[in-house]
Structure 1
Amino acid sequence: MFRPLRRYQIVVDVVAAVLFGLVALLVDVSLLTMVSNAQLLAGVGAGALLAVALAFRRLAPGLALGIAWASAIVQMLALLNPSPTNVAIFAVLYATAAYGSRLVYWLGFASAFAGALTIAVYVHAILPGWANPDLLTVGVAVLIAATFALLLAWVTGALVRTALAAREARRARVLAEAGAVAEQERVRIARDMHDVVAHSLAVVIAQADGARYAAASDPAAAATALGTIATTARAALSDVRLLLTQLRHSQGEGPQPTLADVEALYGQVRASGVDLAVDVDPAPRWEPSAAVQLAVYRILQEALTNALRHGAKGRVSVHLAWHPDRVELTVRNPLPAAPAPPAAGGHGLIGMRERAQLAGGMLEARPDGGHFAVTARLPIEEAA
């Protein structure tokens, strides 16, 4: 029954109702000087009820409508003339349309017609001293005027209700769009974090294992492996700090890997003991867009990381073909004799597919004749 209102709204409504009640008291006392005490008391009571209805018009529009009807009934039972204080009824009807529930909304609409009919019948058929020989004509005129006035108050409230609903819809849409943007940003950062951390840890683990076995026979190899571990860890730490900075602050994406960084990626993989063969045919005739370069780098990074972590010993081949309208990328690595079950919660293949889809392309990853093949096709635009 009661709507949630802010404190200042309640204070404003109560103060307005108190002021209206004082004015209504003065008006009723001045207009009802020639009536009986009972009628004077009824008039003052009806004015007090209208003041209460005015106080509750926004907090409880349905209750305010009922109190307004009670005030009208008191006036009619006491056979009182219409009072200027009845203007509060318009405010109540406005509130039923603007703030009421669906039921109260339509009760206010019905009350506009019922109130107009009641006014016409009461004034020209019941109230003493208002009899008129041309009762039908005058009654119809009063009915039309009252209906127009009461409906005008209700329609004004309905228009305000529509405006408030539109504003809430806009606010909800803005919040939904902001949430979608934030979710996309979280997914992007999570994808970058996975690519950086997974690749760097795979290289570190491979170097650490190699150093452990080589330390006994070749101390120099162990030192080289430790140097590679340190370099890879520092690069990964720098990338992670950049990603955390983006997550903490609303800034741009920052510098992203390009094709110029692919050779360093190949070097890290070869330093881990992988026999890596790279073939680029045909070569790019112009510099692709940053989105394509980033997608190619990240897909190569994840595919080589999977080969390092899950593949068997043997040659890993990378083939890049830069056609005028697309780039085709293939990474093949030998499968172990007894493939281990996929790790739970892995996101590598999902991340590669997302990279390809974001660039407008497609990606397939599946076993192929004793090898595991990752094949991607990304569209590119010819430079002007």
Structure 2
Amino acid sequence: MDRRHALYNWFRRNPFKVDFAAAALLVLMFGPVYLYAGRPLLALVSCALLAPLAWRRTRPVAAAAVVVLVCLVQWALVVQPVAGQIAVPLVIYAVAAYGPAWASRSVLVLGLVGAVMLTTRYYSSSAESGIQDLTVGATYTVLVWMLVLVSWTLGDLTRVRRLQLQALEDRNRRLEIEQQQERQLAAADERSHIAREMHDIVAHSLAVIITQADGARYAAAARPELATEALATIAGTGRNSLAEMRRLLGVLRSDEQSGTRPQPGLAELDELFLGFRAAGLTLSFEQGGAPSAQAGSSRRRLPPGAELTAYRVIQEALTNVIKHAGPRARAAVTLHWRGRALHIEVRDDGRGAAADPSQGGGNGLRGMAERIALYDGSLDAGPASGGGFRVSAFIPYSES
């Protein structure tokens, strides 16, 4: 089966070589016969009709033009039909299958007209007039017409099948390109998602650990009990971060049991705030309105992904406060459930250095914007009037 497919593919890739070999074989079969019979003119006409078959697929219009020209010369010189006349239906088939549409229609008309010209010239020059002769001539004409029509019909069907196969091949190529592009987009989106998760987990944890480590270093000599508390906070933060990293890496390994732990949401904000307060951040929290389920509204609840986005925005904003706002900075977190969106605002009264792109490269703010954009939300971050820094986010939810 593999050899047959290989042979078939070779025939498809080398049409001229195949047609040249076939034309040469026909010339060798039908040309020398007339030379042996002492009819060199018939041998020349036969070879002239068969030779263009070598280009019947690569240049079908040119091959058909040569065959038509030879047939006209043959008709004008009243040369009797020869064995090479088999080239006529073959050329009609080739032009209908591989030539342009106008050439296909032209060879059909020329073939029908040529049949009439052939029979009328033969009978007008070699037969006596009579009803019987006319009947035989008409019969020959109809038979030649049938041969022309069958050749053209088979060629046209071949053209339709060839175009269908070409369309399928083009479609398959487009599908392969689209699938490759979709895989690349999916991989890029997954890389962005992983980068955001890694940044949120690592940046938050390291900020808390660095702050606590600095505090423990200064308090170790004067107040050892504070250093002990700071080390405990460092250990707890490290354990939580390690657990999050293991969960994230488990998802990357497609571990079925790695994703069983639920993602953090707004219900875990109290635990998040405890960690920041333990790190020495003075933090206040205020919530206005209520989620839909508590308020009895017809609104849908925020999906888990949107709640995770809100959680990460608050986490990243507070992490920036610890990293950039300076010592003794205070932060305020406000959640307001509005009619069309959840409004999140995190404000601090520190230096506002988080607006400086040189501090950490701005990956946190970019990650927040990418997360919120997935839910058609908006993010506004920048220095606040009167000092400090302000992060404001809107995450819409659909009306039912």
Shorter-chain TM-score above 0.5: yes
Which one-letter code corresponds to 2:389 in the other structure? F
Equivalent in 36, 40, 58 of residue 39 of structure 2: 36
Q: Which stretch shifts more, 321-330 or 112-121?
A: 112-121
- Report the 3-state secondary structure (helix = DSSP H, G, I; strand = E; otherwise coil) of the residue aligned with 1:216: helix
Cα 1:200–1:49 change in 2 (3 A) is farther
CA contact (8 A) 2:212 2:230 kept: yes
More helix by share: 2
- Give the superposition deviation at 1:304: 0.8
Partner of 2:298: none
- Report the 3-state secondary structure (helix = DSSP H, G, I; strand = E; otherwise coil) of the residue aligned with 2:391: strand
Which one-letter code corresponds to 1:243 in the other structure? L
State how far apart, in whole Å, the 2-side matches of 1:358 and 1:187 are.
12
- Report the 3-state secondary structure (helix = DSSP H, G, I; strand = E; otherwise coil) of the residue aligned with 1:347: helix
Partner of 1:209: 214
Which one-letter code corresponds to 2:22 in the other structure? G
State how far apart, in whole Å, the 1-side matches of 2:285 and 2:321 are.
14
- RMSD of aligned residue pairs (Cα, Å): 4.7
Partner of 1:108: 100
- Give the superposition deviation at 1:37: 5.7
State how far apart, in whole Å, the 2-side matches of 1:188 and 1:72 are.
68
Residues 70-89 of structure 1 aligned to structure 2 (within 5 Å): 72=67, 76=71, 80=82, 83-84=85-86, 88-89=90-91
Does 1:261 find its partner at 2:268?
Answer: yes
Cα 1:260–1:338 change in 2 (3 A) is closer
- Report the 3-state secondary structure (helix = DSSP H, G, I; strand = E; otherwise coil) of the residue aligned with 2:191: helix
Matched residue count: 357
Partner of 2:297: none
- Give the superposition deviation at 1:294: 1.0
TM-score by length of 1: 0.71
Does 1:377 find its partner at 2:377?
Answer: no
CA contact (8 A) 1:326 1:379 kept: yes
State how far apart, in whole Å, the 2-side matches of 1:222 and 1:8 are.
82
Residue ranges of structure 1 left out of the alignment (5+ in a row): 1-5, 58-62, 97-106
Cα 1:113–1:288 change in 2 (3 A) is closer
State how far apart, in whole Å, the 2-side matches of 1:130 and 1:235 are.
102
TM-score by length of 2: 0.68
- Give the superposition deviation at 1:316: 0.8
Partner deviation per Cα, 1:86-113 (whole Å, 9 max, x = no partner): 55546644664xxxxxxxxxx6334324
Which one-letter code corresponds to 1:342 in the other structure? P
Partner deviation per Cα, 1:66-100 (whole Å, 9 max, x = no partner): 7844873796478645644655546644664xxxx
Q: Which stretch shifts more, 354-363 or 333-342?
A: 333-342
Q: Which stretch shifts more, 191-200 or 118-127?
A: 118-127
Partner of 1:100: none
- Report the 3-state secondary structure (helix = DSSP H, G, I; strand = E; otherwise coil) of the residue aligned with 1:269: helix
Cα 1:82–1:373 change in 2 (3 A) is same
Partner of 1:315: 330
State how far apart, in whole Å, the 2-side matches of 1:87 and 1:20 are.
18
Larger radius of gyration: 2
- Report the 3-state secondary structure (helix = DSSP H, G, I; strand = E; otherwise coil) of the residue aligned with 1:370: coil
Partner of 1:357: 373
State how far apart, in whole Å, the 2-side matches of 1:377 and 1:338 are.
23
